[in-house]
Amino acid sequence: MTLSPRPGRLAGKVAFITGAGCVGPGWGNGRAAAVLFAREGASVFAVDLEAETMAETVARVEEEGGTITTHLCDATDGAQVEAAVRACVARFGTIDILVNNVGGSAPGGAVILSEERWRAQLDVNLTSVFLACKQVIPVMEAAGGGAIVNTASTSACAGPVRPRSPTPRPRRRSSSSRASRRSSTRPSGSG
């Protein structure tokens, strides 16, 4: 997908982005949002667990002449999120855009995942969103509005993963044979 640049669209806005680094080299969704938002004029408050990974985000934003401040924070820890939101307001005065980007998926279903891993998945994908909203929404309300973006995944639209059936299922009749059967058993003109 190609994004048409809209310079100045976010001028004067403050964006609080969680997971603004990337686990590997290149682009993660948080880093991409930070760079795009800064390109369009927003001041970016970039939050991540890792300082190292945010260094590349900062370099890319600054290359484009954007404004970015980083803050180390575990997005699943309420006290740390509260401190991060306070630090952002102290630095930029408000928050107009919250990007809840922290998340990820551990492989495996109910049988394979450990209970500990399951709870960690809930924390990283859901609790992180709850905690940031809890702190940021009052700031937005005081300012008269704001926008919240939650990064999700198209995996949510995929069906359940089924193990391969050991015995082949009976073959379904083809649609043409079903159609011919219907037309031969229905009285004509029944609609």
Ligand X SMILES: NC(=O)c1ccc[n+]([C@@H]2O[C@H](COP(=O)([O-])OP(=O)(O)OC[C@H]3O[C@@H](n4cnc5c(N)ncnc54)[C@H](O)[C@@H]3O)[C@@H](O)[C@H]2O)c1
Binding region for ligand X (CB under 6 A): 18-19, 21-23, 28-30, 48-50, 53, 73-76, 101-104, 124, 151, 153
Q: Which is nearer to ligand X, 29 or 67 (CB)?
A: 29
Residue number with the shortest CB distance to ligand X?
Answer: 103
Q: How far is the CB of 2 from ligand X (least distance, A)?
A: 19
Q: How far is the CB of 167 from ligand X (least distance, A)?
A: 35
47 neighbors 128 (Cβ within 8 angstroms): no
Q: Which is nearer to ligand X, 22 or 136 (CB)?
A: 22
The distance of Cα 107 from the centroid of its chain, to the nearest Å, equals 17
Q: What does 144-169 look like in DSSP terms, one character per residue?
A: T--EEEE---GGGGSPPP-PPPSSPP
Q: How far is the CB of 57 from ligand X (least distance, A)?
A: 8
Q: Which is nearer to ligand X, 116 or 176 (CB)?
A: 116
- Tokens standing for residue 127: 């609790």
CB contact set of 167 (below 8 Å; sequence gap of 6+): none
Q: How far is the CB of 73 from ligand X (least distance, A)?
A: 6
- Region of residue 93 (phi > 0: left; psi between -120 and 50: alpha; otherwise: beta): left
Q: Which is nearer to ligand X, 104 or 138 (CB)?
A: 104
